[in-house]
Structure 1
Amino acid sequence: MAPEIVVHRPSPSGGRRVTVGTAILGLAHDDRDLIEFLRRAGLEDAEALVLGDSKLIHWRGGRAHEYEAA
């Protein structure tokens, strides 16, 4: 079973915290950051995960692919 990938709600200053399981990968400001975090975490084909309609990524507290605070 793959670890849960969570892109958390946008922070007030912009960007979204990214976690895989219990590990915090960083603060993503765009899809490129998210792809790089997932690649560094060893997830294969991170670009396809992010840009496709992957059910492995859980976008919380905001719309997918939006990184600015509302």
Structure 2
Amino acid sequence: MKTIYDIQQFLKRFGTVIYVGDRLATLELMEEEIKELYFSKLIDKNELQVALQVLRHEIQFEREQKERNR
């Protein structure tokens, strides 16, 4: 997984589609869902780490964008 799109497709394999209209909120919910999949032992530690790295990078980018646009 290298992009948010990759993570969206990954989550679809588990029947999960997340979209709330606010990109930052969507990313944060995706992060929580990935964690839940790991705690439920549906994904391994490597998949968790890779997905969280991509999501956290994008979350940080979105937060910086919001700060610049204030």
TM-score relative to the length of structure 1: 0.32
TM-score relative to the length of structure 2: 0.32
Q: Name the one with the larger strand percent.
A: 1
Q: Name the one with the larger helix percent.
A: 2
Higher alpha-carbon Rg: 2
